[in-house]
Amino acid sequence: MRKIQFFDTTLRDGEQTPGVNFNTKEKVQIALQLEKWGIDVIEAGFPIASPGDFEAVQAIAQQVKKTTVTGLARCQKKDIDRAHEALKDAVNPQIHVFLATSNIHMQYKLKMTKEEVLASITEHVSYARSLFEKVQFSPEDASRSDHDFLLKAVQTAIDAGATIINIPDTVGYSNPTEYGALFKFLIENIQSEREITFSSHCHDDLGMATANALAAIENGANRVEGAVNGIGERAGNTALEEVALALAIRKDFYQCETQIVLNETKRTSELVSRLSGIPVPKNKAIVGDNAYAHESGIHQDGVLKNPETYEIITPTLVGVTQNSLPLGKLSGRHAFTSKLEELGYQLDEADSKEAFKRFKSLADKKKQITDKDLVALLADQYREETEQYKLADVQVQYSSNGYQGAIVSIIDEENQTKVASKIGSGSIQAIYNTIDELFQQNPDLTEYEIQAITGGEDAQAEVRVTLVDSETNTEFRGIGVDFDVLQASAKAYVQASNHFKQAK
């Protein structure tokens, strides 16, 4: 069977989701889980974009052992040099060079002629090839490019040394018939003595990203690009978990195989969801909570008689289980560390000690600790390490005339404690008004969501908030986890406020 490679851009294009901002430790943990999931190529970031992006790409390149690690670069030598520096320690480095080829991009964004675009491709792909054995070229906005010129651009990149050609549907404009035909046209007409890998990169603006990616595979593509849970710019990218399961369940039709470890799918999805702050919709294909639930009496009757009547995917196939962590307050460090490794975490000595300390504190309050509790614990730890301002204490009390009063203290970047007090119509509003006073900010709270991480009376509350800067319309997300709903709400708001203040 034909082997389909999976190229994950969760850490690059996925991070372009409004309000998503992974720190380096979070990116490394996601990358290690992607490797465990079976991803062939991890696009770790855009090294020249910022010092943080460079640091993350470098850290991932140093820690990933098998998977190819790639960095994005424009057709500029400074971009290519920066990517080369970031990836020099990678076991399998690759560079991803791009330049737009559609008329609207060339005229208004690049302000370049077709001849200038072709010359730039020749110069910069050749230069990239002198530094990297694996060079991928993407003609940005390929699906809206003139087909004859697109073929020239692709051929130019191949002649200059590219061995991987990615065809992006950058704005989610195409449909399966058109997109599949575009791959067929290019594959039939390129000239190369070397084997060329063709790859899809689709956006979901019209809701066809997964269908387009599968159409590309039907028409000769051997690589698919996308992101976990479909996160990304605007409506997001192709959801890789959807493509993986489509190829597995319908192997009879696609006649393809991958190296994706299917039972790591749910765990990968949950990790990305928690660290990105983007919840997975309950009705989301493959990884949503309702994907394997049956409400209708007719469906329930059929499933009880034979699950295959209404289930084409068994929950265990993608790793949907209810396994709890058999650890408690008497558990030792070794058992705790082993469980973390099983969940895909590799912590250094300092982080491991801090995590174990938090685990012991959690075990004193909670009878049964689940995998979800542990992931939440570590996510909280990573976030706090990068926050300039940390929540110290929250007090709420009833005030006159039906109002609630809140006293909140935070610790600033100079380790000084700041305290403020405000009132509100309810406890949450009072706390948030007080935090706004401490941060000297006035954002719009557009989303407030609360849910229990697990079932039971000792479940922890998880609160997610989204703040919007009314001047720039920029979103900032925060997550807080605690047994107390008010404490979790305050944590989430402080986390989002940190991002808000840093942006300001």
The one-letter amino acid code at 248 reads A
Confidence tier at 36 by pLDDT (50, 70, 90): very high
pLDDT of residue 377: 86
pLDDT in tens, 163-177: 999 999 999 999 999
pLDDT in tens, 309-320: 878 888 889 988
pLDDT of residue 324: 46
* Mean of pLDDT values over 340-348: 81
**423 Cβ partners below 8 Å, 6+ apart?**
399, 403, 404, 405, 406, 430, 433
Decide which of 488 and 334 is more confident: 488
pLDDT of residue 293: 75
Q: Say if residue 429's pLDDT is above 60.
A: yes
Confidence tier at 372 by pLDDT (50, 70, 90): confident
Whether the Cβ atoms of residue 145 and residue 152 lie closer than 8 Å to each other: no
Classified as helix, coil or strand, 22 is: coil
* Mean of pLDDT values over 201-211: 98
Whether the Cβ atoms of residue 320 and residue 327 lie closer than 8 Å to each other: no
Cα angle, residue 389 at apex, residues 387 and 391 outer, rounded to 5°: 105
pLDDT in tens, 116-159: 999 999 999 999 999 999 999 999 999 999 999 999 999 999 99
- Range with the poorest average pLDDT among 256-260, 439-443, 451-455: 451-455
* Residues found in the chain: 504
* Mean of pLDDT values over 414-442: 95
Burial (0-12, 13-18, 19+ Cβ within 10 Å), 3: exposed
Question: Domain spanning 387-503: which CATH class is it, in words?
Answer: alpha beta
Q: Supply φ then ψ for residue 3, to 5 degrees.
A: -90, 125
pLDDT in tens, 39-90: 999 999 999 999 999 999 999 999 999 999 999 999 999 999 999 999 999 9
**59 Cβ partners below 8 Å, 6+ apart?**
24, 27, 28
Decide which of 306 and 188 is more confident: 188
* Distance in angstroms (rounded) separating the CA atoms of residues 103 and 112: 10
pLDDT of residue 323: 46
pLDDT of residue 483: 85
Q: Say if residue 294's pLDDT is above 70.
A: no
Confidence tier at 342 by pLDDT (50, 70, 90): confident
The domain locations on the chain are 2-276, 324-384, 387-503
CATH number, span 2-276:
3.20.20.70
Question: For tokens 């050749």, what's the residue?
Answer: 126
Q: Supply φ then ψ for residue 17, to 5 degrees.
A: -60, 130
- Range with the poorest average pLDDT among 298-312, 343-357, 487-501: 298-312
* Distance in angstroms (rounded) separating the CA atoms of residues 234 and 367: 42
* Distance in angstroms (rounded) separating the CA atoms of residues 493 and 435: 8
Burial (0-12, 13-18, 19+ Cβ within 10 Å), 121: buried
